């Protein structure tokens, strides 16, 4: 998949995540929003990997590596913030615990803000 097509997928999935947030009124909707968060997270790091490869960087082979490279390329300020989102994604994806789900859900507004900035920075860099 090309970087541009991956970025297009990310933008569409991100719109769906943002649409879901203000509409959450029950646990089912919260679970669906968390799943959208997981999906967008995966697209974020894969978009960063594709972007890095497009710029001649082939060292973004994992999410953490992709965030480090994104910081090197000036797309994000602090990879540690993104490592926190990775931890939330891992917790959401690998077990279901209502308290953990609440913690993950509480991170989604910060994630949305970070992804908006990332998409803006990528768009400026094109």
Task: Fill in the DSSP letter of residue 21.
Answer: G
pLDDT at 96 over 90: no
Domain that holds residue 67: 3-125
| Distance from C-alpha of 67 to C-alpha of 70, rounded to nearest angstrom | 5
The closest alpha carbon to 44, from 126, 111, 124, belongs to 111
Q: What is the pLDDT of residue 95?
A: 66
Burial of 41 (0-12, 13-18, 19+ CB in 10 A): buried
Q: What is the pLDDT of residue 51?
A: 96
Number of domains, the chain: 1
Look up the pTM and report it: 0.94
Which CATH number characterizes residue 48's domain?
A: 1.20.120.330
pLDDT tens profile 13-64 = 999 999 998 878 888 899 999 999 999 999 999 999 999 999 999 999 999 9
């Amino acid at each position: 998949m090309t970087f541009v097509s991956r970025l297009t997928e990310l933008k569409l999935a991100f719109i769906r995540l943002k649409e879901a947030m203000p509409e959450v009124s029950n646990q089912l909707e919260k679970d669906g929003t968390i799943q959208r968060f997981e999906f967008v997270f995966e697209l974020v790091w894969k978009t960063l990997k594709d972007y890095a490869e497009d710029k001649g960087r082939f060292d973004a082979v994992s999410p953490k590596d992709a965030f480090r490279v994104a910081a090197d390329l000036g797309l994000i300020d602090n990879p540690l913030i993104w490592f926190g989102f990775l931890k939330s994604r891992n917790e959401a994806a690998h077990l279901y615990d209502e308290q953990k789900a609440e913690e993950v859900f509480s991170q989604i507004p910060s994630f949305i803000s970070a992804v908006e900035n990332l998409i803006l920075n990528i768009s400026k860099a094109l």
